[in-house]
Structure 1
Amino acid sequence: MSEKPRAFRSGELARAVGISTDSLRHYERLGVLPRAPRTTSGYRLYPPESLERVETVRHALQLGFTLPELAEILRIRDRGGAPCRRVLGMLEKKLHVLQERIAELQQTQRYMESMVSEGRARISQSQSGEKAFLLRSLNGAPAPATVSREPLRRKKRR
């Protein structure tokens, strides 16, 4: 005889997934987690499947999804829909943004490597204790071009 998995209180679920109870309540407000029923004493009781759902949300956040995006996707799924094509489209867009960001970072890395090389040359040509004006040289050097891009995450609203 198998035992029915038990529900989680807020604190138990939060500890199990490594987030705060405030985050759980925030997920509820946004619709990422369904509203949890309450005990007679007012404690939230999350169903056992909430553990996997919050873990999925956490992983998706690391991939650049936003909570509103996840709320929309999960609402579709909860209503019996199949948001898979939408998720794939979003993943493709996020991958493209990530690839652009990596290219930008590689360009910045090459720029910084040249600045370090130039700085070493300046230091080697100066006397001990003599200023090499490295900070000033940073002002005159052209900064690497930045790719205009969508941020990987949205900025917090005020």
Structure 2
Amino acid sequence: MMRIGELARQTGVSVKTIRFYEQVGLLPPPPRMENNYRLYSSDIVDRLRFITHARSLGLSLREITAILAISDRGEPPCGEVLATLDRQIATIDQRIANLQELRTALIDLRQRGNQAATPWIDCICALVRDHQL
């Protein structure tokens, strides 16, 4: 068993974040010592590492909560993990498409700016001001 500071050191997660994860239900409430210090078991280290890695992959707290709820029921959450990853991939693909569209629009504006003849009338400033996606 370890106190919250040791858990934070072992996982690289701040004490404040650990308390927040407890508050929102991602971590179960820990038992407490007589002096009210929290005590954590080693299985919480793995759970916290899962949460941290899932967040780094862009999963939301809601998605992580759903995955952990399945696991907490004693069921394998692999299907939910795969479905969540598929949704994350689709979201990233859409962002990439949107960024490529934006890049194309910026390149077009830049090229038209090179061709502008009269400053402040047909210059790049007017092109940006009047441009609509």
TM-score of the pair, normalised by structure 1: 0.71
CA distance in 2, matches of 1:112, 1:52: 45
CA distance in 2, matches of 1:17, 1:116: 47
Contact 1:36–1:44 (8 Å) recurs in 2: yes
C-alpha deviation, 1:92, in angstroms: 1.0
Which residue matches 2:18? 24
TM-score of the pair, normalised by structure 2: 0.83
Does residue 108 of structure 1 match 2:102? Answer: yes
Which residue matches 2:70? 76
Which residue matches 1:4? none
Runs of at least 5 residues in structure 1 that lack an aligned partner in the other structure: 1-6, 144-158
**How big is the alpha-carbon RMSD for the aligned residues of Structure 1 and Structure 2?**
2.1
Contact 1:17–1:51 (8 Å) recurs in 2: yes
Alignment of 1:7-156 (within 5 A): 7-122=1-116, 125=117, 131=120, 133-143=123-133
Paired-residue identity, % = 33
Bigger relative contact order, structure 1 or 2 (CA pairs below 8 A, ≥6 apart): 1
Runs of at least 5 residues in structure 2 that lack an aligned partner in the other structure: none
Matched positions, count: 132
Q: Which has the higher helix share?
A: 2
